[in-house]
Amino acid sequence: MDRKKARKKATELVSQMTLEEKASQLRYDAPAIKRLGIPAYNWWNEALHGVARAGQATIFPQAIGLGATFDTELLGQIADTIATEGRAKYNAYSQEEDRDIYKGLTFWSPNVNIFRDPRWGRGHETYGEDPYLTKELGVSFVKWLQGDGKVMKAAACAKHFAVHSGPEAIRHEFDAIATPKDMEETYLPAFEALTREADVEGFMGAYNRTNGEPCCGSPSLQKILRGDWGFQGYFVSDCWAIKDFHEHHMVTSTPAESAALALNNGCDLNCGNTYLHILKAYEKGLISEDTITESAIRLFTTRYMLGLFEETEYDKIPYSEVESPAHLALSQKAAEESFVLLKNNGILPLNKEKIKTVGIVGPNADSRKALVGNYHGTASRYCTIQEGIQDYLGDDVRVLASVGCDLFRDRTEHLAFTQDRLAEAKIVAENSDIVILCVGLDETLEGEEGDTGNSYASGDKETLQLPQVQLDLMEAMAESGKPVVLCLMAGSDIDLSYAEEHFDAVMVLWYPGAEGGKAAARVLFGDVSPSGKLPVTFYNSLEELPDFTDYAMKGRTYRYMENKAQFPFGYGLTYGKVVVTDAVVSENSAADINDTNVSGKAGFESGTNTTAAPVTIQATVTNQGAIDTRDVVQVYIKNADSSLAVPNPELAAFTPVFLKAGETKTVTLSIAPKAFTVVDETGARTEDGSHFHIYVGCTQPDKRSMELAGVKPVEIEYSK
């Protein structure tokens, strides 16, 4: 992937074009230029959790579920699989001269915005609320999607640059105000890492303004992106965002002015049709030909980087790769790793030898929509939770089922009385030994404004409560007197206080992909232990949060919150009991170990600059339980000196580990130098303070996590 050579070829090709031809190539649906042998190309494609919207493809768990895995290797394998299927489909479509939308190799993924508020309907497209977790997973996704071949396997795109997380209803005119400190501390790190560490090929701007400037025409953001970070790829607007300049943001008066503002500020490609006015803007002197030429060169550089004008090593990837058995198995594995067990009084894993009848109840039990989230492809077969359990149990255990209620309407049949399936649910519970209750949301209740026919709160959630009909169903199941396992299928924080109090087990399945039912059955019945961790905070109420439109981070997410969480970021139980029994700073790291005390706390002094090299932690981890399990070792760091530091300990390293019952392993984790810095009010990142608390465990070091998990992380006192 030699960018210099690709750009040289692009420059030579673009030099042969007329002004009109160059301008035509700045649209997402770039037309063919037959006299130069250039085929049509549609830039718009999606691959958030599988190749999307172009027919059959493997559907992986939604991004928020992938975030819950805390597994960069898994994310990489998924991204490589997406690129393989994308190439397979592109090869086949190209043979048919089908160059339609969603059939190219420029995937507008991943979404590395920060899920700062649980109301945001698109939060489940992200990897969660933490910049470090988002960065690590995003970098892995981009690297593996783009590959390390002679040409890019596929081109990733970091979106939505840069400060974007709702509200959906006003995103076309909204101005997100963020301080320089919050920008550097929270909103920009993942984007910077995707540029510097993963060499992401594309960037997409957001709909809203950030600090007064529309994101798709922002000189300030472009200075950061192309100036400070050295980004050299292409920049695309969000879809129809440029027309918002004159229709909603009111920063321009005409489409020509909007096209000029975007193009002059680094937006090479228009997803939308406002760039049809480029020539008019040129005639009015608003855009120079050099600017048009530069954007065309950038776009053709990407096409050359993908090898679209030559034979490549990927041309022979066959169509049989699409939804191959290996890819479906990977989707199932990802779902199994993504499930987060929040409560278990010992009822899980279920023993099918001791159960005669299982009742499966709830609107998401047999729902395909609840499997797929949004920005999804089409599976050749969907395995719902109900079907997965039925297939798993076969003829050995009787399965009874009831939808119980609609997802949010007050009846399932138009002519029926209200709560027309509630009696059936009660009957199923009465006749069952155990009830598996599947409640939650789908993309019609949380998602993107205007997407998939959304009309409910423009895609955003108005509350943390489930719809009333589901609350009524939960109450009825609690009153049944039967053991109940609640499975939540949603992409965000839902108030689970009632479930925690009344049900025997509570597990979050997110939107687990087309193989979700198979995965759920294996986890519920103990073939595999749950091991996911919450990538977002589950709050007790919205009242403790700032206003949705307030982009200041104070009081938001686990890093800044002041109250106790209902379920904290980084929390999740397993069927085993994985404990970090000891943790030390390695002698190979930037620290010199001077003293270690008996309590497991270590005091360190270092004669060297601790930010000169990563700090390496060696942790001893034991599964003290009776069941083999995967778990995630997490390292949090707290600056004990600086008033500029993030208020609470923040994630600085993590690694999954698999331990058999009784097994002990030593794992090594590396804390990047950046974790020991702070950000001042001007947005400058500096070193301030010499004393740090490092916590190593399988949860955060907060009181609520320790209360729920019953385990305290090892604390290291570390000094420069």
Task: Answer yes or no: 238 catalytic.
Answer: yes
**CATH homologous superfamily of 3-313:** Glycoside hydrolase, family 3, N-terminal domain (3.20.20.300)
Q: Tell me, what's the pLDDT at 609?
A: 38
H or E segment to which residue 401 belongs: strand 398-402
Q: Which residue ranges make up each domain of the chain?
A: 3-313, 325-536, 578-719
- Indicate whether 307 pLDDT > 60: yes
Q: What number is the average pLDDT over the span 408-412?
A: 97
- pLDDT category at 99 given cuts 50, 70, 90 is very high
| 325-536: CATH architecture | 3-Layer(aba) Sandwich (3.40)
Q: What is the pLDDT of residue 451?
A: 67
Q: Does domain 578-719 have CATH number 2.60.120.10?
A: no
Whether the pLDDT of residue 455 is over 70: the answer is no
C-alpha dihedral, 277 to 281 to 282 to 288, nearest 10°:
-110
pLDDT tens readout for residues 111-142: 999 999 999 999 999 999 999 999 999 999 99
- Does residue 454 surpass a pLDDT of 60? no
- Mean pLDDT computed over every residue of the chain: 95
Residue 607 has pLDDT above 80, yes or no: no
The single residue of 117, 130, 182, 238 carrying the catalytic annotation is 238
Could you give the CA distance from residue 362 to residue 474 in angstroms, rounded to a whole number? Answer: 9
pLDDT in tens, 419-440: 999 999 999 999 999 999 999 9
pLDDT of residue 598: 26
pLDDT of 458 > 70? The answer is no
> What pLDDT was estimated at residue 596?
31
Distance of CA 487 to the CA centre of its chain: 20
Per-residue pLDDT band for 610 (boundaries 50, 70, 90) equals: very low
Q: What percent of the chain has pLDDT over 90?
A: 94
> Is the dihedral angle over the CA atoms 102, 378, 94, 76 positive or is it negative?
positive
Looking at residue 453, its pLDDT comes to 45
Query: pLDDT tens across 196-221, in order?
Result: 999 999 999 999 999 999 999 999 99
> What mean pLDDT comes out for the span 686-706?
97
Amino acid at 699: T
684, two tokens: 């400058």
Report how far residue 608's alpha carbon sits from residue 587's, in angstroms, rounded to the nearest whole number.
Answer: 13
β-strand pairing of 357-361 with 398-402: parallel
